[in-house]
Amino acid sequence: MTRHKAKRSETWDFTAFILKLALFIVILRSFIVSPFNIPSESMQPRLVVGDFLLVAKWPYGFSKYSLPFNISLIPGRILPQSPKPGDVVVFKAPPSARDDYIKRVIALSGDMVQVTNGLISINGVAVKREKIEDFTHPVTPNSPCFRDEFEANGGNGKLICRYPQFQETLPNGASYRILDIYENSEGDNTETFMVPDGHMFLMGDNRDRSADSRFPAIEGQSIGMVPEENLVGRALVSVFSTDGSAEWIKPWTWFSAARWDRIGEGF
């Protein structure tokens, strides 16, 4: 009898441990940090395909979008805070609010935004932009060049991609690098947008590869104006990056594929 009780006790202790661990993970991912990976080029040069980062959940408050599977346990938004222009945010993309996207906040409620020849103006004032050195990155399985014309010899028989790069500074002083590769591309000239109450105007840093607030919300594509209530969190730090060359059956490639220099970069 004692042996059976001991076995039941061990089984219960193990079950309790698993339940506590699951609860800890749910709390961690819901209210503190959650992982996010970069699937596209829309946020180059800051983020590239294969980057993995942590997203801070607390800066903008908590809602059902903070919880796994968007479980409706939180009414509205608790402890709401608006983001600042320049923040890199993860959010549920309109119109369905099912998929997580990542973009940079450009303007908030009440702001007037227009893009003219690729230059942003906010409330009638042009955003400062200056040309800097080209952005380059190695050609890898998950990061080919957009077109052959941007491919160059990087030395040692390796190819690189080279793109025109600019430093952009918003009126509040937030400064970051962007790519503007093509002249007169779609999205380089827009109407004047008035950001509705409780909404955000978001753009990708790679202006020619981002379907953002310059375009109306279409499921799986552009996002239109994004409600602040759709916020999931703010990009916090890069924790890993891979160039896509790793193979599961070749463990040594897990290390050779890592972009070690990108780990630990904050926002």
| Residues designated as active site | 42, 103
Compute the distance between CA of residue 101 and CA of residue 38 in angstroms, rounded to an integer. 9
- On whether the CB atoms of residues 183 and 208 are closer than 8 A, the answer is no
Q: What is the rounded distance in angstroms from the CA atom of residue 237 to the CA atom of residue 55?
A: 7
| Terminal-to-terminal C-alpha distance of the chain | 60
- The single residue listed with the structure tokens 């503190």 is 32
Q: Which residues of 37-66 are buried (b: 16+ CB within 10 A; e: fewer)?
A: ebebbbbbbbbbbbbebbbbbebbbbbbbb
In the chain, % helix, strand, coil (3-state, to 5) comes to 20, 35, 45
Q: Which helix (H) or strand (E) holds 237?
A: strand 231-241
Residue type, 165: Q
Closest CA to 43 of 98, 104, 91: 104
Neighbours of 231 (CB within 10 A): 28
